[in-house]
């Protein structure tokens, strides 16, 4: 009996040894958002470069910051984050400049994404720290029956003709950016003296809207139930699709002030083991087929094909860190709660 | 005795084991079947009970909300609520508002699950006119300046559209409305109803904010503490969960969905079916080892088909405790019945082997003692048949045996007697002679042997034939016998030779008397086939111990003496040596 067990064990060991490769494969550690690195696409990369790819997923910016900060970026090689977050990683020296010659597919990107200096937060001192991968802009969705002509400005949300039929988004940062832009200021840098004016403008928005929504499904429900005319599309194309699927006759427009947009970019950590391999990964995701799958599967715009929603000439404002997120938050909580301006605005 | 003992043990033991095994097996199998079916029944009954409990909790929730709705309707209907909008001057308005605030305060005090009661105007962007908040243990009336515009909240713009007495129920959410005192950042649901003037003009609305935690406390109040209460909105976001961190995920930008924890609930989320019951046997999740029931409850506006999903989970232990008690009972029953089966099988094997053993005893007795024992011949079963067959066999064997005995006796007689005359033959005579010699040696008494031979028997045979010769021999035998005592032995040695043993002679002269008597008898003619035949005999006598010391010598000497008689012409007698005096 014992001898049988021994023989079995020996046979198992031999077969195990045979099944293992002669040498350990190099591993690329990818940290990404769900949908950015589907296993079938990863397999193609593994085969082509004869490496092993280990994909981890995150679902919030906070978790992403935490994971990259641990071990000073030593736990991952390459990750994706939006432009507003990149400043954090660059200033803390957590990511390294990229060798663009190793990422030749950037040449096929839309012009908007080729001008890297024009995209805030991803370059510093002439060095490129991140490459755009996917984006979503926040345009306006309007009811074609109530608008003979598509609205051209965000100001339509303040238009008293649509009082009670406007759906805005419940978010301090974006709302302050939009209001500031409409008042002629910078979206991300509101001057101290301007804050009261912007806040008052948002109280006016509050008095004109039907409500401020939070979830995409909620916005669709409200839009249909209350025959809304205008919707600030925080979720972009995803929301447009939901509304159209629900049978709404809606149009989508990028206002002339420009649409705020988040733009997720690939960056390489300081702890990268093989930068060349990590850059090959970035290059691979920018292949038309791989980027195309992202759009097909996730409904997110890619940087290779022109988006059917946002034309090349449309103004897209990539998100940047704001001057004082906390201040916007406190003021917004007064506004959304219905406080009278004279109560919370210092004279 | 060993063999029957062993056999007795063998049959009853084997039969007993067989019956006991069968009994125990049957009991165990039916016990196991009983256990599994009962366990399934218990489990499904527990699931049914849990579903019923969930439905009852759902009904309770509806009743509680209905009662709150009645409170809102009552507040909207009292003239004071309408008066606030039509007060003649500022002072009266303030007085009316104060009275209404006092009413709100009283109602808040009576209902600890109420956070806030408000009167909101349709105009002025939904400005609050009268508002009383729960503020810890106190009730705080919020005064002008701190009152807020609420028209952009669904509970306001949706209620504005309702008719008199209609109720709006908001989605359940975290209340982030600044300045809400105790209700701030707490899970809340609002119940509201419009305030409509006599002329039909919409003036405003009454809103009651409910503390969801207070509500869940009431719902949980009647449930055993081991029950877990779950509530989700129609998209599946947890609103009530035993772990508070799992609720209102959407409020922090993430979705913690009921269908991720309880997969089957996704059917309810998709609007399929009204309830699901599930048994979460294993898995890494916290809900493992629970039975859970979920029901879909209409919530608020029926046109919009809004609903919530209410669920109860109960640890499987509560049910398995029942089933383990059941299994214990089942084992007890199995053991008891197995014991019974053992006793019964022992009894039955005894009943069956009892008659067998009796039969074995009867056979033994018969083979040893040839005695037919009493057997249960009258039984109507197989034992009766066996007993009867055995009895018949015994009787037949006995008949055969006695027949055999008879023929053996006949053979024996034949071996020791002469067939013609029926007298003892030479062999028997020698036996008796030797026996008599032995007796004489002990007693010291004498005995005599008389050798008798027919004279001229050959001539009779030749003249009249063997048949006549045989008749002569028979007559001689009769003659010799008639002349002797009972104790004496007359034997035929063969041919015409006879021999006589005179046992125990007290007086030797007596021998002479007998010899002479014989001689006389032989002088008579014999009547054979109508013929008179003269048959004479020569007699020789030898006496023990005088003439010979053993049987052979006695025979020899008596024979010689007989020849001596023949020599002198026959029809006389001679003594070996001694001629007794006359």
| CATH number of the structural domain spanning residue A213 | 3.40.190.10
- Answer whether A343 sits within 8 Å of B126, measured CB to CB: no
Contacts of A215 in chain B (CB under 8 A): 235, 250
Average confidence score pLDDT of chain B: 86
What's the pLDDT score for residue B576?
Answer: 75
Contacts of B179 in chain A (CB under 8 A): 337, 339
Residue in A closest to B124 by C-alpha: A207
What's the pLDDT score for residue B546?
Answer: 83
Q: How confident is the model at residue A14 (pLDDT cuts 50, 70, 90)?
A: very low
CB pairs under 8 A between A and B: 57
- B265 pLDDT exceeds 60? yes
Residues in CB range of B190: below 8 A, 6 or more apart: B155, B168, B169, B170, B207, B208, B209, B210
- Asked whether residue A126 falls in the same domain as residue A144, the answer is no
- Answer whether A210 sits within 8 Å of B148, measured CB to CB: no
Distance from CA of B61 to the nearest CA of A (A): 24
- Cβ pair B53, B229 in contact under 8 A: no
* 3-class SS of residue B573: strand
Average pLDDT over residues B545-550: 85
Of B148, B154, B250, the CB nearest to A338: B148
In terms of residue numbers, what domain contains A24? Answer: 2-133+263-306
Query: Looking at the complex, does the CB of residue A337 fall below 8 Å from at least one CB of chain B?
Result: yes
Contacts of B151 in chain A (CB under 8 A): 207, 338
Contacts of A222 in chain B (CB under 8 A): 154
What's the pLDDT score for residue B577?
Answer: 61
pLDDT in tens, A195-236: 999 999 999 999 999 999 987 888 998 999 999 999 999 888
Selected residue with higher pLDDT from B120 and B517: B120
Average pLDDT over residues A268-276: 95
What's the pLDDT score for residue A21?
Answer: 44
Query: Looking at the complex, does the CB of residue A211 fall below 8 Å from at least one CB of chain B?
Result: yes
Of A206, A215, A221, the CB nearest to B152: A206
- Asked whether residue A298 falls in the same domain as residue A331, the answer is no
Of A209, A334, A343, the CB nearest to B152: A209
- Lowest average pLDDT, out of A72-86, A270-284, B106-120, B450-464, goes to B450-464
Percentage of the residues of chain B whose pLDDT score is greater than 90: 30
Contacts of A34 in chain B (CB under 8 A): none
User: How far apart (Å, rounded) are the C-alpha atoms in residues A61 and A49?
Assistant: 30
Query: Looking at the complex, does the CB of residue A343 fall below 8 Å from at least one CB of chain B?
Result: yes
- Lowest average pLDDT, out of A237-241, B252-256, B402-406, goes to B252-256
- B539 pLDDT exceeds 80? yes
What's the pLDDT score for residue B5?
Answer: 53
- A191 pLDDT exceeds 70? yes
What's the pLDDT score for residue B186?
Answer: 93
Q: Rounded to an integer, what is the distance from CA A30 to the centroid of its chain?
A: 17
Residues 73-132 of A with CB under 8 A from B: none
Residue in A closest to B173 by C-alpha: A214
User: How far apart (Å, rounded) are the C-alpha atoms in residues B2 and A329?
Assistant: 106
- Answer whether B176 sits within 8 Å of A333, measured CB to CB: yes
- A151 pLDDT exceeds 90? yes
Instruction: Among A33, A213, A338, A339, pick the best mutation site for testing chain B contact (most B Cβ within 10 A).
Output: A338
Residue in A closest to B128 by C-alpha: A338
- Asked whether residue A191 falls in the same domain as residue A328, the answer is yes
pLDDT in tens, B67-107: 999 999 999 999 989 888 888 888 898 999 999 999 999 99
- Answer whether A339 sits within 8 Å of B126, measured CB to CB: no
Distance from CA of B19 to the nearest CA of A (A): 39
User: How far apart (Å, rounded) are the C-alpha atoms in residues B226 and B32?
Assistant: 30
Average pLDDT over residues A323-346: 91
B417-575 CATH: 3.30.70.270
Contacts of A60 in chain B (CB under 8 A): 253-254
- Asked whether residue A157 falls in the same domain as residue A244, the answer is yes
Residue in B closest to A343 by C-alpha: B145
Average pLDDT over residues A307-324: 82
Residues in CB range of B288: below 8 A, 6 or more apart: B280, B281, B282
Distance from CA of A9 to the nearest CA of B (A): 31
Query: Looking at the complex, does the CB of residue A66 fall below 8 Å from at least one CB of chain B?
Result: no
Distance from CA of B76 to the nearest CA of A (A): 23
Task: Name residue, tokens 């309770």.
Answer: B60
- Tell me which range, A41-55, B446-460, B479-493, is most confidently predicted by mean pLDDT: A41-55
Selected residue with higher pLDDT from A251 and B304: A251
Residue in A closest to B179 by C-alpha: A337
Strands (E) across chain A are located at 27-32, 52-57, 78-82, 123-124, 127-128, 130-138, 140-143, 166-169, 211-213, 230-232, 250-253, 259-268, 301-302, 316-318
- Asked whether residue A325 falls in the same domain as residue A185, the answer is yes
Selected residue with higher pLDDT from A91 and A4: A91
What's the pLDDT score for residue B2?
Answer: 47
What's the pLDDT score for residue B282?
Answer: 57
- Answer whether A338 sits within 8 Å of B304, measured CB to CB: no
- A10 pLDDT exceeds 80? no
Selected residue with higher pLDDT from A311 and B501: B501
Instruction: Among A330, A337, A343, A345, pick the best mutation site for testing chain B contact (most B Cβ within 10 A).
Output: A337
- A12 pLDDT exceeds 50? no
What's the pLDDT score for residue B460?
Answer: 85
- For A33, how many CA atoms within 13 A lie in the half-sphere containing its CB? 18
Distance from CA of A198 to the nearest CA of B (A): 18
Q: How confident is the model at residue B366 (pLDDT cuts 50, 70, 90)?
A: confident
Q: What one-character-per-residue DSSP string does A166-228 give?
A: EEEE--HHHHHHHHHHHTTS-SS---GGGHHHHHHHHHHHHHHSSEEE-SHHHHHHHHHHTT-
Fold of B54-317: Beta-Lactamase (3.30.450)
For the record, the structure tokens of B450 come out as 């008389």
- Answer whether B125 sits within 8 Å of A225, measured CB to CB: no
Contacts of B256 in chain A (CB under 8 A): none
What's the pLDDT score for residue A22?
Answer: 42
Supply φ then ψ for residue B9, to 5 degrees.
-60, -45
- Answer whether B250 sits within 8 Å of A215, measured CB to CB: yes
User: Which strand (E) or helix (H) includes residue B525?
Assistant: strand B525-528
What's the pLDDT score for residue A7?
Answer: 55
- Lowest average pLDDT, out of B65-74, B368-377, B433-442, B449-458, goes to B368-377
What's the pLDDT score for residue A161?
Answer: 94
Length of chain A: 347
Number of domains composing chain A: 2
CA-based nearest residue to A342, from A205, A179, A206, A196: A196
Q: How confident is the model at residue B128 (pLDDT cuts 50, 70, 90)?
A: very high
Is residue A258 domain-resident? no
- Tell me which range, B30-39, B148-157, B301-310, B413-422, is most confidently predicted by mean pLDDT: B148-157
Contacts of B150 in chain A (CB under 8 A): 338
* 3-class SS of residue A346: coil
- Asked whether residue A108 falls in the same domain as residue A160, the answer is no
- Tell me which range, A94-103, A112-121, B222-231, is most confidently predicted by mean pLDDT: A94-103
Distance from CA of B262 to the nearest CA of A (A): 21
Selected residue with higher pLDDT from A176 and A12: A176
For the record, the structure tokens of B381 come out as 């079963």
Structural domain boundaries of chain B? Answer: 2-37+318-363, 54-317, 374-409, 417-575
Is residue A313 domain-resident? no
- Answer whether A211 sits within 8 Å of B179, measured CB to CB: no
Average pLDDT over residues A304-310: 79
CA-based nearest residue to B389, from B402, B376, B400, B370: B376
Is residue A156 domain-resident? yes
Percentage of the residues of chain B whose pLDDT score is greater than 70: 96
- B473 pLDDT exceeds 70? yes
Q: What share of chain B is helix, strand, coil (3-state, %, to 5)?
A: 50, 20, 25
CA-based nearest residue to A129, from A164, A91, A158: A91
Is residue A311 domain-resident? no
Distance from CA of B253 to the nearest CA of A (A): 9
- Answer whether B178 sits within 8 Å of A226, measured CB to CB: no
Chain B interface with A: residues with Cβ < 8 Å? 125-126, 128, 145-154, 157, 176-179, 235, 250, 253-254, 304
- Lowest average pLDDT, out of A18-32, B3-17, B62-76, goes to B3-17
User: How far apart (Å, rounded) are the C-alpha atoms in residues B411 and A62?
Assistant: 129
Q: How confident is the model at residue B303 (pLDDT cuts 50, 70, 90)?
A: confident
Contacts of B152 in chain A (CB under 8 A): 206-207, 209-212, 338
What's the pLDDT score for residue B132?
Answer: 96
What's the pLDDT score for residue B284?
Answer: 52
- Answer whether A340 sits within 8 Å of B145, measured CB to CB: yes
- Answer whether B152 sits within 8 Å of A337, measured CB to CB: no
Average confidence score pLDDT of chain A: 89
């Amino acid at each position: 009996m014992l001898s049988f067990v021994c023989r079995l064990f020996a046979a198992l060991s031999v077969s195990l040894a045979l099944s293992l490769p002669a040498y350990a494969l190099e591993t690329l550690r990818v940290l990404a958002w769900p949908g950015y690195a589907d296993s079938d696409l990863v397999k193609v990369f593994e085969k082509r470069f004869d490496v092993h790819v280990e994909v981890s997923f995150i679902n919030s910016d906070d978790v992403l910051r935490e994971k990259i900060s641990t071990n000073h970026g030593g736990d991952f090689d390459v990750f994706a984050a939006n432009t507003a977050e990149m400043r954090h990683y660059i200033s803390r020296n957590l990511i390294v400049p990229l060798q663009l010659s190793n990422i030749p597919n950037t040449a096929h990107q839309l012009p908007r994404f080729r001008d890297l200096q024009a995209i805030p937060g991803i370059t510093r001192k002439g060095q490129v720290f991140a490459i755009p991968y996917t984006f979503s802009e926040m345009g306006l969705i309007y009811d074609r029956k109530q608008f003979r002509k598509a609205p051209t400005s965000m100001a339509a949300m303040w238009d008293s003709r649509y009082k009670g039929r406007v759906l805005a988004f419940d978010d301090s940062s974006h709302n302050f950016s939009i209001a500031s832009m409409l008042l002629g200021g910078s979206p991300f840098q509101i001057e101290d003296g301007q804050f009261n004016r912007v806040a008052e403008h948002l109280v006016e928005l509050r008095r004109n809207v039907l409500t401020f929504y939070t979830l995409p499904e909620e916005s669709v429900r409200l839009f249909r139930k209350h025959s809304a005319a205008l919707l600030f599309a925080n979720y972009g194309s995803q929301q447009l699709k939901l509304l159209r699927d629900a049978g709404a006759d809606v149009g989508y427009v990028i206002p002339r002030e420009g649409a705020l947009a988040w733009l997720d970019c690939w960056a390489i950590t300081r702890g990268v083991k093989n930068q060349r391999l990590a850059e090959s990964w970035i290059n691979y995701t920018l292949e038309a087929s791989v980027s195309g799958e992202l759009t097909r599967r996730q409904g997110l715009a890619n940087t290779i094909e022109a988006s059917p929603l946002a034309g090349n000439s449309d103004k897209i404002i990539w998100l940047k860190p704001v001057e004082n997120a906390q201040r916007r938050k406190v003021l917004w909580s007064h506004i959304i709660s219905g406080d009278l301006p004279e109560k919370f605005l210092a004279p | 005795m060993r063999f029957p003992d062993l056999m007795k043990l063998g049959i009853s033991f084997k039969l007993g084991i067989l019956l006991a095994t069968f009994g125990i097996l049957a009991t165990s199998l039916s016990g196991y079947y009983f256990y599994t079916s009962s366990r399934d029944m218990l489990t499904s009954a527990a699931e049914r009970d849990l579903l019923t409990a969930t439905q009852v909790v759902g009904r309770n929730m509806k009743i509680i909300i209905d009662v709150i709705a009645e409170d809102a309707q009552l507040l909207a209907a009292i003239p004071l609520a309408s008066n606030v909008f039509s007060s003649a001057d500022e002072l009266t308005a303030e007085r009316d508002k104060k009275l209404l605030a006092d009413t709100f305060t009283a109602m808040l005090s009576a209902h600890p699950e109420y956070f806030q009661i408000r009167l909101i105007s349709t105009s002025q962007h939904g400005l609050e006119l009268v508002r009383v908040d729960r503020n810890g243990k106190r009730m705080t009336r919020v005064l002008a300046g701190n009152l807020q515009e609420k028209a952009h909240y669904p509970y306001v713009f949706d209620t504005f559209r309702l008719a008199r007495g209609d109720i709006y129920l908001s989605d359940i959410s975290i209340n982030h409305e600044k300045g809400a005192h105790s209700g701030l950042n707490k899970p809340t649901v609002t119940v509201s109803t419009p305030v409509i003037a006599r002329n039909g003009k919409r003036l405003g609305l009454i809103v009651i904010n409910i503390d969801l935690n207070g509500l869940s406390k009431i719902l949980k109040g009647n449930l055993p503490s081991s029950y877990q209460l779950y509530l989700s909105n129609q998209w599946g976001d947890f609103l009530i969960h035993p772990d508070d961190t799992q609720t209102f995920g959407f409020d922090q930008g993430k979705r913690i969905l009921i269908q991720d924890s309880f997969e089957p609930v996704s059917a309810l989320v998709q609007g399929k079916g009204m309830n699901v019951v599930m048994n979460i046997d294993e898995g890494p999740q916290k809900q493992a080892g629970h039975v859970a029931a979920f029901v879909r409850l209409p919530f608020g506006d029926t046109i919009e088909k809004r609903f919530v999903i209410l669920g109860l989970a109960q640890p499987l232990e509560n049910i398995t405790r029942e089933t383990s008690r059941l299994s214990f009972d089942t084992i007890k029953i199995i053991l008891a019945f197995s014991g019974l089966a053992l006793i019964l099988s022992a009894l039955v094997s005894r009943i069956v082997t009892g008659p067998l053993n009796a039969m074995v005893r009867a056979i033994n007795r018969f083979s040893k003692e040839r005695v037919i024992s009493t057997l249960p011949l009258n039984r109507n079963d197989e034992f009766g048949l066996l007993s009867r067959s055995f009895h018949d066999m015994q009787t037949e064997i006995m008949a055969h045996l006695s027949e055999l005995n008879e023929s053996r006796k006949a053979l024996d007689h034949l071996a020791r007697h002469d067939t013609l005359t029926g007298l003892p033959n030479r062999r028997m005579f020698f036996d008796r002679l030797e026996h008599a010699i032995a007796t004489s040696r002990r007693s010291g008494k004498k005995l005599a042997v008389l050798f008798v031979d027919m004279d001229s028997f050959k001539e009779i045979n030749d003249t009249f034939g063997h048949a006549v010769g045989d008749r002569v021999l028979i007559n001689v035998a009769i003659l010799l016998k008639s002349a002797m005592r009972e104790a004496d032995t007359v034997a035929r040695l063969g041919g015409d030779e006879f021999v006589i043993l005179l046992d125990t002679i007290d007086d030797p002269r007596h021998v002479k008397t007998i010899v002479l008597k014989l001689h006389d008898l032989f002088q008579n003619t014999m009547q054979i086939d109508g013929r008179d035949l003269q048959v004479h005999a020569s007699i020789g006598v030898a006496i023990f111990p005088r003439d010979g010391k053993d049987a052979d010598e006695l025979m020899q000497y008596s024979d010689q003496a007989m020849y001596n008689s023949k020599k002198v012409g026959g029809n006389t007698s001679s003594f070996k040596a001694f001629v007794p005096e006359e």
